[in-house]
Chains A and B, each alone.
Chain A
């Protein structure tokens, strides 16, 4: 197969880019290892304003628009390698491929795909939150609970514990309660280095308060103080003042002063141990609790899924505000590899509307590279697309990492250094 643009990932970013490029007459193929298109947007259901926002109709609309524009959507196909077409990079030194790129696929479509340009829109992945017993069946990630409940309409459990105080954990707890589960609690992540910032309750609370939607995700009495709580010192101070019992909100007990330290069960998870933890993430004296559960959702944070473009040799930068290691990108979402672009979660973890807007911008830049739009025309269109990204960011119903603007500035600085 030979195409002008190969897109890896049929989430909002990949679909929006495919639409922009295909409608200008270029040949576009979109690959996704899932049987259905839409990426994570399909399973999203989160509190927005006074109601709830479901991603499914938006995902279907984006896929339809890409298809109508002439893009081929190839599902159940995993892309496992990205190599320069001219042969370099196969065990040798990776480098830009003036002759385009070769994607190696497996699944429904098997074999190499040659592409003049590539967009890596592989999205984000969840971090691990190891705790003794976490391999027991019934212990799943927060994202898996989203997929089960919102896509497959299967309740993850009747008595569910959510571990990890972060925007996704809180959103998932609320959506499970909405779907009819008894959410027996949202508890702090186990203390220790493996939990990262969320293993330190004061940091977890400050990060939650500092994310745009964080204020609305906080249980009272903390909600009023959301702005101040975004500072770790004040968050720690507030935690110390809280009573040992959980704070209740939306019918869900928030164990802000207890961390999960063990999961137990035979064959599947049935019990979770909660122990008092200090705001700076050390086990403290106090009562140990055992909660009876039939499912546990671990929310370990979101990180860009960048293996494909990293292995191809793109320069990376560590930007914690964007979720960790991200490809260094320019203003058009181009990477340091000629003809390879990234957009959406793989370029930095943000919400779905931001991902779609980034995909549109990357698509315009790719259409320009392919000679499908003139430089002059592209200039104006990209300017408008850049504003749309900013607007989407400002209006995002959920954000995952605080201080995103600082992260973006640092990433741009890295680009100018290259």
Chain B
């Protein structure tokens, strides 16, 4: 859903495209734009799942304030998709709750097997 022709801002300036992957699937982006915009333009809105309840989450504030858009970029967790510019070949992954489960148990859920109880910290619902 690119705005090709804008009555005030004019036609979309020609910009080279680059490709990155989101959960292994190739996605096209305009050079220099942020991950959140590129994914939204490609119809991908679910960026991760919440830790408790495993509800889908996506971009919310678009400017780095809310941390709802965090994704794993080239293996580094919790990058804000709305502030991270796309680079060709980037490996972007949504954050499954399982990633966090290694560190903390799900709220109200059973403590993972084999885990020492003292390792169980508080969990937020975000």
Contacts and interface: CB of A to CB of B under 8 A. Distances in A.
B8 interface: yes
Contacts of B32: 35
A33 B3 CA distance: 26
Given A35-B34, A126-B61, A153 B3 contact: yes
A237 interface: no
B62 interface: yes
B1 A154 contact: yes
A65 interface: no
Interface in B58-114: 58-65, 68, 82-83, 85
Contacts, number: 106
Contacts of B7: 178
Given A35-B83, A54-B8, A136 B3 contact: no
B68 to A, nearest CB: 8
A305 B6 CA distance: 31
Contact of B63 (A147, A156, A178): A147
Contacts of B62: 140-141, 143-148
B79 to A, nearest CB: 11
Contact of A153 (B12, B56, B61, B83): B12
Q: Which residue of A136, A153, A154, A180 has the most chain B CB atoms within 10 A of its CB atom?
A: A153
Nearest to A35: B85
B46 interface: yes
Contacts of B63: 34, 40, 143-144, 147
Contacts of B59: 137, 140, 144
A76 B37 contact: no
B90 to A, nearest CB: 14
A45 interface: yes
A350 to B, nearest CB: 18
A45 B58 contact: no
B18 interface: no
Chain A at the B interface: SS class: mixed
B65 A137 contact: no
Nearest to A152: B37
Nearest to A39: B63
B56 A139 contact: no
Q: How large is the interface on A (under 10, 10 to 19, 20 to 34, 35 or more residues)?
A: 35 or more
Contacts of A414: none
A63 to B, nearest CB: 15
A54 B7 CA distance: 12
A222 B45 CA distance: 37
Given A33-B64, A45-B8, A126-B61, A148 B46 contact: no
A76 B32 CA distance: 13
A179 interface: yes
A34 B41 CA distance: 20
A309 to B, nearest CB: 16
B17 interface: no
A135 B56 CA distance: 8
Contacts of A150: 9
A78 B58 CA distance: 22
B111 to A, nearest CB: 25
B41 A154 contact: yes
A137 B46 contact: yes
A356 B59 CA distance: 29
Contact of B1 (A54, A147, A158): A158
A180 B5 CA distance: 9
A268 interface: yes
B20 to A, nearest CB: 15
Contacts of B30: 152
Contacts of B2: 153-155
A14 interface: no
A52 interface: yes
Nearest to A34: B83
Interface string A146-171: 11111111111110000000000000
18 contacts: A54-B9, A76-B83, A78-B64, A135-B50, A138-B45, A139-B60, A140-B59, A144-B82, A145-B62, A148-B40, A150-B9, A152-B30, A152-B40, A153-B3, A154-B40, A178-B8, A179-B3, A268-B45
Top 7 A-B pairs, shortest CB-CB distance: A144-B62, A137-B58, A152-B37, A137-B45, A155-B1, A147-B62, A154-B41
Given A147-B63, A156-B40, 11 more contacts: A35-B34, A40-B63, A54-B8, A138-B58, A143-B63, A144-B61, A144-B82, A148-B37, A152-B40, A154-B41, A305-B65
